[in-house]
Chains A and B, each alone.
Chain A
């Protein structure tokens, strides 16, 4: 082989490498491009309708211009709170079981189950909550919406909790046990404390994930054009309001739907940024 052919071969290899890195860079850009596009379009279409009134006023009756989504914003927060009451304790303790107790065989089945649950279409959760809560209570309610969303949170939180707990080196568990500290204290005060940021991250990401769910709320929380004073009654939620407004024939409602979508995505974005901030820092233990 002469120097020249080897040189040409070298050039060809360099070119191939260049093409590959360019293609993979393009794909990476494609991953974040939709986020940029969505944000850009939402701001363009919705920012105009986001004003003080949007956050403070109830929806106006059909035909009247103006009004806001105050009840839907609060409703979404209430539903997130209710869902967390179910999803966080069960999810976190389930993750603790998977990571700290449990035989391999049982864990395999639980993980398998959780992964299937993670893939269940969200509308199915709505049906489940409808059957479990709405029918016995004979009314759409905030509770029903909370149950539907809470069920969705459980497998999400369980798997992330398990993952971050498994990241805590076994040496810490052994060191604590060797000090004569009882097992549950080791788990709560050493292992979970070490993984606290990771667990919180998992909870927040699960909350962000369900904050935008519409389908499970369609026939559980149902939506409400007024304030909900009793959680046994239907409650408004941003995604539901957006859905209702978006399929309506009124231009003003369309503008408000855009504004609602913008507020919703900013809420989710805020949670994600919060997670980033939270997982920074030196004294951190195990995060994501």
Chain B
């Protein structure tokens, strides 16, 4: 039953590019709030992965996101930068409906993923999360599972049992995560036996194995040493050819190095979203300029 649903969904989505920019053209003009400096609009966007309109998010009484409207282009890397507590992680977690898991968390507004409203009442959050994978700041392989089991867990627990399919997807995911060569001889060792950087790539492989459209990364390299960080960044460059990637980072050099577009958040608001080059060389907004030049934050 679940598998059928997944396969059907998959069939609907292939081949890429899945949906024409037509959707963007029609929807983009609607509901777009006036924001200074053209915030929220990416000029040369081809296909829109996420269309976010007037998103507000709360934790209890605390408003973490205020009136965020933006579009995230498909098959590209969008970096989200901003000082701690500016709502960038909260925003990321709204994109795969993880925000609502926190006790007392609420949101309103609209988020469309390739045209579909992911917060529509008939949409199941688990289906959204299969399409929007996530990698966390702290690598978190499941401690009871081997390397192989860690990669295939998303498939197995969603009802896929055929060994051949599992093994094929596992190898593919590990190869995409640039981990295959390092672990192919010890797939039955515990996932926790890997080094920190390898564990993080294992988590990326685990997210890729369920074949999502989008990969959200919440400071994926902030706990890693420079060499492991470099590997993750190289990986991001490789993955963006097939995936839409949204990466939250504290590290502005990292955003500058590996993203195509950069969004600057401050105090729960989107201040500016533009090409990474423009954000870091000639931002339209004074606050953005102060932040990227290190005058605050």
Whether chains A and B associate is: yes
Tell me which residues from 143 to 162 in chain B have a Cβ below 8 Å from any Cβ of chain A.
Answer: 143-144, 153-154, 157-158
B130 at the interface (CB under 8 A from A): yes
User: Which chain B residues lie closer than 8 Å to A179 at the CB level?
Assistant: 129-130, 133, 153-154, 157, 206-207, 210
- Digitize B118-152: 1 where CB-to-A-CB distance is under 8 Å, 0 elsewhere: 00000000111111011010101011100000000
Looking across the interface, which residue of chain A has its beta carbon closest to that of B193?
A: A282
B39 at the interface (CB under 8 A from A): no
Tell me which residues from 167 to 218 in chain A have a Cβ below 8 Å from any Cβ of chain B.
Answer: 169, 171-172, 174-182, 185, 189-190, 193-194, 196
| Shortest Cβ gap from B23 to chain A (Å) | 24
Instruction: Classify the secondary structure of B's interface with A.
Output: mixed
User: Which chain B residues lie closer than 8 Å to A185 at the CB level?
Assistant: 157
A109 at the interface (CB under 8 A from B): no
| Shortest Cβ gap from B152 to chain A (Å) | 11
B157 touching A175 by the CB < 8 A rule?
A: no
B98 at the interface (CB under 8 A from A): yes
User: Which chain B residues lie closer than 8 Å to A189 at the CB level?
Assistant: 157
With A172-B142, A193-B144 in contact, is A180–B136 under 8 Å at CB?
Answer: no
- Digitize A38-72: 1 where CB-to-B-CB distance is under 8 Å, 0 elsewhere: 00000000000000000000000000000000000
Which of B127, B144, B203, B206 gathers the greatest number of chain A CB atoms within 10 Å?
B144
B136 touching A175 by the CB < 8 A rule?
A: yes
B101 at the interface (CB under 8 A from A): yes
| Shortest Cβ gap from B54 to chain A (Å) | 25
A285 at the interface (CB under 8 A from B): yes
B98 touching A175 by the CB < 8 A rule?
A: no
Instruction: Classify the secondary structure of A's interface with B.
Output: helix
A181 touching B154 by the CB < 8 A rule?
A: yes
User: Which chain B residues lie closer than 8 Å to A190 at the CB level?
Assistant: 142, 153
B143 touching A177 by the CB < 8 A rule?
A: no
Number of interface residues of B (CB under 8 A): 27
Compute how far the CA of A196 lies from the CA of B144 in the bound complex, rounded to whole angstroms. 10
A181 touching B157 by the CB < 8 A rule?
A: yes
A174 touching B101 by the CB < 8 A rule?
A: yes
Compute how far the CA of A71 lies from the CA of B134 in the bound complex, rounded to whole angstroms. 58
User: Which chain B residues lie closer than 8 Å to A175 at the CB level?
Assistant: 134, 136, 140, 142, 203, 206
Compute how far the CA of A174 lies from the CA of B133 in the bound complex, rounded to whole angstroms. 11
Q: How large is the interface on A (under 10, 10 to 19, 20 to 34, 35 or more residues)?
A: 20 to 34
B190 at the interface (CB under 8 A from A): yes
A169 touching B140 by the CB < 8 A rule?
A: yes
A178 touching B207 by the CB < 8 A rule?
A: yes
B75 at the interface (CB under 8 A from A): no
A181 touching B126 by the CB < 8 A rule?
A: yes
B288 at the interface (CB under 8 A from A): no
A180 touching B101 by the CB < 8 A rule?
A: no
| Shortest Cβ gap from A102 to chain B (Å) | 10
| Shortest Cβ gap from A288 to chain B (Å) | 16
User: Which chain B residues lie closer than 8 Å to A181 at the CB level?
Assistant: 126, 153-154, 157-158
| Shortest Cβ gap from A65 to chain B (Å) | 55
B96 at the interface (CB under 8 A from A): yes
A283 touching B190 by the CB < 8 A rule?
A: yes
B98 touching A174 by the CB < 8 A rule?
A: yes
B203 touching A182 by the CB < 8 A rule?
A: no
B136 touching A174 by the CB < 8 A rule?
A: yes
Looking across the interface, which residue of chain B has its beta carbon closest to that of A190?
A: B142
Task: Point out the residue from A104, A177, A194, A283 that lies within 8 Å of B129, measured CB to CB.
Answer: A177
Compute how far the CA of A237 lies from the CA of B240 in the bound complex, rounded to whole angstroms. 68
- Digitize A108-148: 1 where CB-to-B-CB distance is under 8 Å, 0 elsewhere: 00000000000000000000000000000000000000000
Tell me which residues from 23 to 69 in chain B have a Cβ below 8 Å from any Cβ of chain A.
Answer: none
Tell me which residues from 73 to 108 in chain B have a Cβ below 8 Å from any Cβ of chain A.
Answer: 96, 98, 101, 103
Compute how far the CA of A178 lies from the CA of B142 in the bound complex, rounded to whole angstroms. 13
Compute how far the CA of A286 lies from the CA of B136 in the bound complex, rounded to whole angstroms. 21
Compute how far the CA of A180 lies from the CA of B154 in the bound complex, rounded to whole angstroms. 7
- Digitize A153-174: 1 where CB-to-B-CB distance is under 8 Å, 0 elsewhere: 0000000000000000101101
Residues of A at under 8 Å CB distance from B? Answer: 103-104, 169, 171-172, 174-182, 185, 189-190, 193-194, 196, 282-286
Q: Can you list 25 contacts pairing A with B, beta carbon distance less than 8 Å?
A: A103-B103, A174-B134, A175-B136, A175-B142, A175-B206, A176-B142, A176-B153, A176-B157, A177-B98, A177-B101, A178-B207, A179-B157, A180-B128, A180-B129, A180-B131, A180-B154, A180-B210, A182-B126, A190-B142, A190-B153, A193-B144, A194-B143, A196-B144, A283-B144, A284-B143
The 4 closest A-B pairs by CB, nearest first: A180-B130, A179-B154, A178-B134, A171-B140
